[in-house]
Amino acid sequence: MVSRKFQSVKWRFQLARHGILCLPGQEIDIRSVEIGGRKVRIRFPDGEKRVQAFELVNLVYFDCYRLSRIPGPVTSVLDIGANLGFFALAARRRFPGARIECYEPNHTLEPSLASHCAAVDARYCIAAVGASEGRVNLDFRKNSLHSVSRECADGMTRQIGMNEAVARLGTVDLVKLDCEGAEWDIFSDPRPWARVRHLTMEYHLWARPSLTANDLRDQLRALGFSRVRIEPDPSGNWGLAWADRNESDRTER
């Protein structure tokens, strides 16, 4: 209990350093984010402000995807599982000149996603990404952060292949992947990954209970990434991972 209270105080102190005041028992009150010297207004979906504000803080201010550690110039970013576009905000803060393209299958999030992408000159597409082209339906969970796509021949939402998503950018300096278990399908086609320099992702073992974090490590190395770091959540069901490719290993378009 003492440890949890300490972590809560530490977290709120870190927020305060970014000018965000959040007292115990209060929701995070964040209405805009400063990017490139101007303020971007934040648009939350109805009923999701509490959880989405926490997500925004983690991505933009606490750098949970560790964009600050990615070496070399980043001129192209592919965001798979964009949700409200908060990663696009974080990427624009870190990589001001990059081309950013976002994919999100949940059409109900489009007003917020469109607003945030327009504010930072990022492009978005309402579509899922998989190993191949097709259709999907979404299983809606407790909030939009946990919606799961299921392939279905007559599904309501389009799915494009990872190969096409990468080809639109040519060579991709950074892929961010958070697609609630669909990553395993995306990994099954190695071709597009030869044109990806860096990967930052949230992985989901609950989607493939027979797999472990070590299996993920092996999968990423099989895709050609020479440096892989994995940070499991204490639950063991999910975690974060980062992978980098040596420049000599990268295949140009």
Q: How far is CA 127 from CA 35, 36, 44, 81, in A?
A: 26, 28, 20, 9
Q: What local confidence, expressed as pLDDT, does residue 134 receive?
A: 93
Q: What local confidence, expressed as pLDDT, does residue 193 receive?
A: 97
CA-based nearest residue to 120, from 40, 25, 12: 40
Q: What local confidence, expressed as pLDDT, does residue 21 receive?
A: 67
Residue carrying the six token digits 């999100």:
104
pLDDT along the chain (253 residues), means of 10: 48 68 70 92 89 90 94 94 97 97 95 97 97 87 72 89 96 94 93 97 93 96 96 94 76 39
CB 194, CB 251: distance < 8 Å: yes
Characterize the bridge pairing of strands 76-80 and 172-177.
Answer: parallel
- Burial class of residue 241, CB neighbours in 10 A (0-12, 13-18, 19+): buried
Q: What local confidence, expressed as pLDDT, does residue 251 receive?
A: 44
Q: What local confidence, expressed as pLDDT, does residue 5 receive?
A: 47
Characterize the bridge pairing of strands 134-139 and 172-177.
Answer: unpaired
Q: Domain coordinates of the chain in residue numbers?
A: 61-249
Q: What local confidence, expressed as pLDDT, does residue 253 receive?
A: 35
Q: Which two tokens stand for residue 66?
A: 């560790």
Characterize the bridge pairing of strands 134-139 and 148-151.
Answer: antiparallel
Residue carrying the six token digits 């994995």:
230
Q: What local confidence, expressed as pLDDT, does residue 11 receive?
A: 62
Q: What local confidence, expressed as pLDDT, does residue 28 receive?
A: 75
CATH 3.30.420.40 assigned to 61-249: no
